[in-house]
A and B are shown apart, each in its own frame.
Chain A
Amino acid sequence: MALLEVKGLSINFGGLHAVDDFSIKIEKGELYGLIGPNGAGKTTFFNLITGVYKPTSGTILLDGKDITGKNTIQINKAGIARTFQNIRLFKELSVLDNVKAGLHNRYKYSTAEGIFRLPRFFKTEKAMDEEALRLLKVFDLDDEASVKASNLPYGKQRKLEIARALATKPKLLLLDEPAAGMNPHETAELMETIRFVRDNFDMTILLIEHDMSLVSVVCEKLSVLNFGQLLCEGETSTVLSNPEVITAYLGE
């Protein structure tokens, strides 16, 4: 069974078919790329499968369960986590607390236990600190744990977003242009990290990216969106040599 199976997904924004009868099937453990020109509907697709927008038609199955129409919180609990094209960190919180916010639903104690500093507070916070630091280490951010998130350089902010998403222990990780704004060196590092996460966290990853050098190296399969519709899909090398794709996207 595919981990993510989307069938006939559509949404209209007042006459604009931002996503139009789009289908995709992603197997567990795959590193899948979603590409397409600006305004093709890639981010809108992410917003649809994470419950930010409700689709006008279509179904979304995660691990065989129908999650169509569920809200963002339910969908995160079902196992999808994401990053954003325009970075959305908890700006005033420390790097560590950003990740701990992602751990929120996995490590629990009540508000009263927190206010009265009962033993479970100390025990749980300690466990959260350890897990958060372990995650930060993967992204080489553990030295900046106590830095305010907004004070991080851009490339590290993107990494922190991934760490925060991973903290929710998703089955499927969605990355919206993870390399945007990074220099070639940072991009190369990021590719390593993405592979590392897939292998060591047992993760399935779907990423949107404009940087073709990253896509062609990292992604095993690709889907191409154009004007909200699927243009073609398949093995990365096959898709990238498809003349239709080249004219729609690469040739521009």
Chain B
Amino acid sequence: MRSRAATSAAPFATTVRIPFAATARSLPFLYAAVTIVLIWQFVVILTKPDPSVLPQPITVAWTLGHLLRDGELGLDTAYSLGRVISAWLLSAIVAIPLGLLMGSSRRLERLINPFVELLRPISPLAWIPLAILWFGIGESGKIFVVFIGTFFPMLLSTIAGVKGIDPILLHAGQVFGCTTRVALFLRVMVPASMPSIVVGLRVAFGTGWAAIIAAELVAAHTGLGYLIANGMDILRADEVLAGMIAIGVLGFLFDTFFRYLQGRYARNAG
């Protein structure tokens, strides 16, 4: 009797609970979005600004729909995303191995850390003029800027990951046969610092996304940054705002995706 009641209740519970949990999680964001739109609308009603300065929310929604339909938004997103991903990958290829080495060798850290500490405070945006001088407004300059923006979060996170390894795990690695430094490095240090590396990848994607928009504002003919810069040039605040919304929503989605990966990884990694 009891078991039958349990089995008949189970499918109901699972089909109902999962969408409910997803809705519950997105509720705070929905609340924030609705509030922003309401305040915006309110300001428009009260101050009656020139639409080329601050259009109505509905106008922006209209423009956004238009940009989506004629494929312009999709194309610019693809450009921006392509740049971020290539620079982010390039950065990962350099920063993660370097971070692993710096985290495990005090001598190497002492050698390289001063450079990191000197260069890190220079915002990736401050590199944009130099990038234009060096590379012109082609792809390499923008990738260079995003590389700078993604490099330090990844490097620091990787170093912290290695340094945060419980020494007892290193002992266990040695006891169970990692007799050389290389074996211990590959078999224990690298996997043990993986959760922290994933955090670095996520944070870096965020800073990279911010950096590419900035780089495209000043040095591009494509990309979401160019889209909003162009909107400014032709006095179309609705296009600027539509572009900004796209940037925000995409950034939020990427971060949510990385958080999901991180959660999965953490579950596998304990």
Q: Specify whether A and B are partners.
A: no
Chain B interface residues toward A at CB < 8 A: none
Q: Could you tell me which A residues sit within 8 Å of B by CB distance?
A: none
